[in-house]
Structures are given as C-alpha cells and as structure tokens.
Structure 1
C-alpha cells in the first residue's frame, strides 16, 4: 500500500477468509477485474485505488462485514456477478440517493453493489 492512498480514519484494507484461494481469485477477477499478488501458499493480496485487501486460507464466517462496491452500470455488474457464480440475495432496489443489490460470493460472503440514480 502506498502512502498516497492512506486516508485518516478510512477503510484501507479488507481481509477475507476462503477455503479456496484460486476460486476466490477467479471469482473477483471475473467480476471486477481485481489483480492479485500471491504471498505464499496461504495468502493473496489485491490493490485498488481506494482500498487494498487480501484473502487468507481459513473457514469463512458468514455475516461479518458488508463490503459495498460502487458501479457505474448496476445491471451489467449484476450480470457479471451471476455469470461468475455469485448468488443474488437481494435484487436491485432503490434507496435515497441510489440503487443497489446484494450477492453472495462462492464462499458465502455477502457483499453489495450500489450506483447513483
């Protein structure tokens, strides 16, 4: 992580547990174009413009933190999630200021994707 990405009291890193690092990498690469760097057999990291993170081996725990991603085209993103094997758990709905949907990844983590109206 580079110092220019750091923002005081803002999320800087997200770490997920997964039973299958390769499956997790393939899913997030196919859905969102994330790039990964492996650090040994039990850890892979990804970097972004706003948040960095990683996946480590372990048993996933459902219901922890809801990670929310932004999309410029909500329906196209939903289609990519489904095509990559994600399960839509809350289809697109409106809220003040936007719309979003929620999905489960192959490890059962629930994430959301939102867009402005």
Structure 2
C-alpha cells in the first residue's frame, strides 16, 4: 500500500537484465515483470522497484544511496550471495543494533544486508 510522501519504489541500473533477474530471484526470491527490453520491475522484495538498462553502477563510493536488506541468518545470506555470483565488498561488521556486510551484485551495484546477530 502506498503512503503519501513515503518511499514507494526504487530503481537500480543493470546492463544485463537477464543476469540480474537470475541473481535476485535465486538469492532473495524476488519476482520480475519485463517492461520492454530495457526495464524489469521486481516485487516480493519488501519494497517494489525495478532495474533499468545502464552501464553505470550504484555504489556508495560514488555517492549513491545504499539499499539495505534484512536477514535472519546473515552468514547463510552471505553464502547464498557468493554462490550466485555476488561479491562481498565490505565484510561483516558490528554496528549498534547488529551486524551487516555490503555486497556487489553481478552488475556491480552495492547493497548491504543486516541482522540483529
């Protein structure tokens, strides 16, 4: 359900939409709907969004916002990410409230995963 003036949708770049769909469906169970050759929407992710065709990446070193996902089992999620071709770019570290790590998806977009563990 949409809320007035609340974050409603997020879009990220990806050059290979087929590969990005494979990665996120395999690791996180996201589902996709294609909208032409240059855009794919995702759902079942906590917040709906999409990937648009682009050679650029979303990385915090370039000033991009950081999408942070939640996991009940941080180690298992990290294992699943690596098995699907993701790369850990910042190993797990403690922060007030839990632990998290950052990863790059097959396109190079940086996201993070956190847990209370």
* TM norm structure 2: 0.89
> What aligned pairs does 1:66-85 form with structure 2 within 5 A after superposition?
66-85=66-85
* Alpha-carbon distance in structure 2 between the residues aligned to 1:68 and 1:89: 14
Structure 1 match to 2:23: 27
- Structure 1 residues 13-22 or 43-52, which shifts more? 43-52
Structure 1 residues 77 and 62, CA gap change in structure 2 (3 angstroms): same
Structure 2 match to 1:38: 34
SS at match of 2:107: coil
> What aligned pairs does 1:30-109 form with structure 2 within 5 A after superposition?
30-48=26-44, 50-63=46-59, 64-109=64-109
- Structure 1 residues 74-83 or 58-67, which shifts more? 58-67
How many residue pairs get aligned? The number is 113
Render the CA deviation track for 1:35-71: whole Å, top value 9, x for unaligned: 0011111111012364110011112234222100000
Q: Which of 2, 6, 13 pairs up with 1:6?
A: 2
How many angstroms does 1:106 deviate by? 1.1
Contact 1:12 1:50 in 2 (8 A): no
* Alpha-carbon distance in structure 2 between the residues aligned to 1:50 and 1:79: 21
* Alpha-carbon distance in structure 2 between the residues aligned to 1:101 and 1:108: 15
* TM norm structure 1: 0.89
Gaps of 5+ in 1: none
Structure 1 stretches of 4+ with a deviation exceeding 4 A read none
* Alpha-carbon distance in structure 2 between the residues aligned to 1:50 and 1:19: 23
